[in-house]
């Protein structure tokens, strides 16, 4: 079990005694909320959620993709917002925990273990977002695609049943992946094809397998200019 998997398991386990809390089992493409709801906090128990924002032309785009053990909505202990342009849509079959923001805050005040875990969760999500913001327009496209694929593996990894490597267990089109990368779909597809030709990936319309995490990591750390 890697550190990310351990953190997700510890966070979800620490929420078992949280009351009141409801669980929603949603299929692919379901809208969890169309507009931001003050006071409501959500945790991904399994599956993935895309946080959607509105672009300058009025179209929605994927701002963030969150997997198991992630927290979103009205985040505890952050400055309260009465309005935020954000919606949440599931990617694949997804289970969501829902509770009131003040419920988590009250428990954290008396539970030191949950307090420390919540700080770790925030730190991980902030790190993912910070990398994406810094690199979205500055880093070469190959590095950005490699980074996104490695970030997706942070939410859990399982051996791929089709090839040697790890399965990226999420339903995502090339268009949705391109939104995360911040590039046009044909350009991202070309990079995925390069990675496949180099033996780093195997993918079809139904699955994507990362065959070498270390090779993707080397690309992320490299000084490639394309």
Residue span(s) of the chain under CATH 2.60.120.10 come to 3-133
**Which pLDDT score, from 0 to 100, does residue 131 have?**
75
**Which pLDDT score, from 0 to 100, does residue 212 have?**
85
**Which pLDDT score, from 0 to 100, does residue 58 have?**
76
Helix (H) or strand (E) holding 135: helix 112-135
31: which strand partners? 89
| Residue 4 Cα distances to 12, 155, 210, angstroms | 12, 7, 17
Q: Tell me the residue length of the chain.
A: 226
**Which pLDDT score, from 0 to 100, does residue 123 have?**
93
What is the C-alpha to C-alpha distance for residues 182 and 201, in angstroms, rounded to an integer?
A: 20
Helix (H) or strand (E) holding 39: none
Which burial class, exposed, middle or buried, applies to 197 when counting CB atoms under 10 A from its CB (0-12, 13-18, 19+)? exposed
**Counts for the chain of helices (H) and strands (E), in that order:** 7, 10
**Which pLDDT score, from 0 to 100, does residue 44 have?**
96
| Residue 221 Cα distances to 68, 91, 131, 153, 176, angstroms | 26, 29, 12, 17, 24
| Residue 198 Cα distances to 64, 151, 195, 215, angstroms | 28, 20, 5, 10
Backbone angles phi, psi at 148, to 5 degrees: -60, -45
- CB neighbour list of residue 63: distance below 8 Å, 6 or more residues apart: 51, 52, 53, 86
Note the CATH architecture for domain 137-221. Orthogonal Bundle (1.10)
Largest CA distance in the chain: 53
- CB neighbour list of residue 79: distance below 8 Å, 6 or more residues apart: none
**Which pLDDT score, from 0 to 100, does residue 127 have?**
85
Report domain 3-133's class.
Answer: mainly beta
- For every one of its 226 residues, what pLDDT tens digit does the chain have, with 9 covering 90 and above? 555 678 899 999 999 888 889 999 999 999 999 998 999 999 999 989 999 888 777 778 888 889 999 999 999 999 877 667 889 999 889 999 999 999 999 999 999 999 999 999 999 998 888 877 766 666 788 988 998 888 888 776 778 887 788 888 777 788 888 888 888 899 999 999 999 999 998 887 777 888 888 898 899 887 665 5
pTM summary value = 0.85
Residue span(s) of the chain under CATH 1.10.10.10 come to 137-221
């Amino acid at each position: 079990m890697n550190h990310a998997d351990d953190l997700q398991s510890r966070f979800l386990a620490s929420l078992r005694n949280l009351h009141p809390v409801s669980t929603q089992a949603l299929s692919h493409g379901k809208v969890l909320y169309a507009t931001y709801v003050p006071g409501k906090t959500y945790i991904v128990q399994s599956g993935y959620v895309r946080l959607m924002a509105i672009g300058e032309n009025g179209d929605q785009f994927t701002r963030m993709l969150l997997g198991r053990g992630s927290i979103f909505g009205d985040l505890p202990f952050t400055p309260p917002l009465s309005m935020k342009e954000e919606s949440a849509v599931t990617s694949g079959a997804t289970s969501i925990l829902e509770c009131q923001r003040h419920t988590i805050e009250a428990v954290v005040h008396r539970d030191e273990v949950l307090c420390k875990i919540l700080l770790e969760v925030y730190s991980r999500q902030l790190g993912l977002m910070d990398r994406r913001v810094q690199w979205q327009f500055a880093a070469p496209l190959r590095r950005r695609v490699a980074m996104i694929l490695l970030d997706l593996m942070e939410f859990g990894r399982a051996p791929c049943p089709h090839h040697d490597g790890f399965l990226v267990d999420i339903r995502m089109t090339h268009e949705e992946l391109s939104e995360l990368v911040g590039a046009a779909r044909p350009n991202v597809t070309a990079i995925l094809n390069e990675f496949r030709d180099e033996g780093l990936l195997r993918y079809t319309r139904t699955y994507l397998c990362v065959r070498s995490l270390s090779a993707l990591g080397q690309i992320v750390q490299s000084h490639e200019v394309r």
